[in-house]
Structure 1
């Protein structure tokens, strides 16, 4: 804490090395947060850099009314909001569109196989696909709802901190969180076959069957607390278990990060958000 305070004091005086030390403390978390919003690695790198530059440029305006990390996340969120506000929100069936595209496009199938076989982050893990799915479904929310729920349920910011980041009252943040969770729970309950046998989406197990053919699906699924609890816990509890699982994953540095990024790009291509997949 003393070192952090000293670095903050020096940073406020314009010491960029001290500022770099402060920024580095939460940069991995900031990048993963931006990736969950942007779903694009290059855009994430760009906005992380822009956040660093803008925060250092505006360091004299930091008055200590919030934590330094919260202040930087506010800058990053504003940049992401400006970047995303004109883009269309996703529909709940975006993953279905991606599946149809992948099944009908040989080069995409080859990309999946190549990534799985050659990348040291190309493994397929069901829990990481649950993380991917959480991101996709969160993009069906309004942008402010998505920001609020990711900050609260994945990065554990308080409602007060989220209010500072969004420039809203705590009452508004509470309302955003209520609506966001309600929508997420409804979509997961209707679509996710992991918690509803009649759910429309079976991607987790389908992909596991392709990329982990020697793995017993049921054994792997039963390692996931959410799945084990699906028949006895209320929907709200299942959502929280899902969020806890997602919070433990870094989508940029996990064992399956490259595989899930290809799946994400396929989804974005299917909904016409990008024109090609970059490998």
Structure 2
């Protein structure tokens, strides 16, 4: 991941995201005025993204399907309380994250981070940049070993730290958006990302040599 891309996501929300928020607000207003069918457009638009963020926190497809459905049901039931203090996108993400947190606490489940997912574009994510610099004659074997060790290290992170890593590295959200979703300051988001990076590097120090 380039420094420029990281800074862009850190500093501001893109014009495209701002336009998206405006379009969403118009649809939300229609739903609030009684056009229930209009909510289907929001489901179609965000279903895959919400499914993705929940899956990266649960690692179970059946649970993810149920939680995705629950998140949209809760969003629909609460739609009249949406006041546009944030974008619909971040409001919906917050519902999904909180729904998942409640589920994980109740079931005492932990998530495995996918090395394939965070490295799918051919570039290493910021959290594990140093891992791919280690030379090894058998890259496939190293990759499998890295996946196992990364999963183990990721399990040890708290839900809050796993969530910021997921939203920043996998869902490519800005610090501002993550702060809105998690109900904290941007400084707290940066602090949690830094802590998560340090913890993962500590757990994987043998691969950083």
Q: Given the two structures, how large is their TM-score scaled by the length of structure 2?
A: 0.65
1:9 aligns with 2:25: no
**Which residue pairs with 1:28 in the alignment?**
48
Q: Identify which of 144, 149, 161 aligns with 2:177.
A: 161
1:77 aligns with 2:93: no
**Which residue pairs with 2:160 in the alignment?**
144
**Which residue pairs with 1:48 in the alignment?**
68
Where does the alignment leave 5 or more consecutive residues of structure 1 unmatched? 92-123, 197-279
Distance in 1 (alpha carbons) for counterparts of 2:170 and 2:75: 23
Contact 2:149–2:204, Cα closer than 8 Å, also in 1: no
CA gap of 1:176–1:156, structure 2 versus 1, over 3 A, is: same
Distance in 2 (alpha carbons) for counterparts of 1:55 and 1:175: 29
Contact 1:89–1:141, Cα closer than 8 Å, also in 2: no
Q: CA deviation at 1:7?
A: 1.9
Q: 3-state DSSP class of the match of 2:172?
A: coil
Q: 3-state DSSP class of the match of 2:46?
A: helix
Q: CA deviation at 1:135?
A: 5.7
Higher mean displacement: 155-164 or 58-67: 155-164
Distance in 2 (alpha carbons) for counterparts of 1:182 and 1:130: 16
Distance in 2 (alpha carbons) for counterparts of 1:54 and 1:164: 18
Q: Given the two structures, how large is their TM-score scaled by the length of structure 1?
A: 0.50
**Which residue pairs with 2:202 in the alignment?**
186
Greater per-residue helix proportion: 2
Q: Which structure has the larger Rg over C-alpha atoms?
A: 1
Q: CA deviation at 1:65?
A: 1.4
Distance in 1 (alpha carbons) for counterparts of 2:186 and 2:154: 21
Alignment of 1:1-279 (within 5 A): 4-86=24-106, 87=108, 89=110, 137-190=153-206
CA gap of 1:182–1:60, structure 2 versus 1, over 3 A, is: same
Contact 1:66–1:161, Cα closer than 8 Å, also in 2: no
CA-atom RMSD in angstroms:
3.2
Once the two structures are superposed, what CA deviation does each residue of 1:86-141 show, in whole Å capped at 9, x if it has no partner?
A: 516579xxxxxxxxxxxxxxxxxxxxxxxxxxxxxxxx9x9899778756643321
Where does the alignment leave 5 or more consecutive residues of structure 2 unmatched? 1-18, 113-139
Once the two structures are superposed, what CA deviation does each residue of 1:173-219 show, in whole Å capped at 9, x if it has no partner?
A: 221111011112333443x5xx76xxxxxxxxxxxxxxxxxxxxxxx
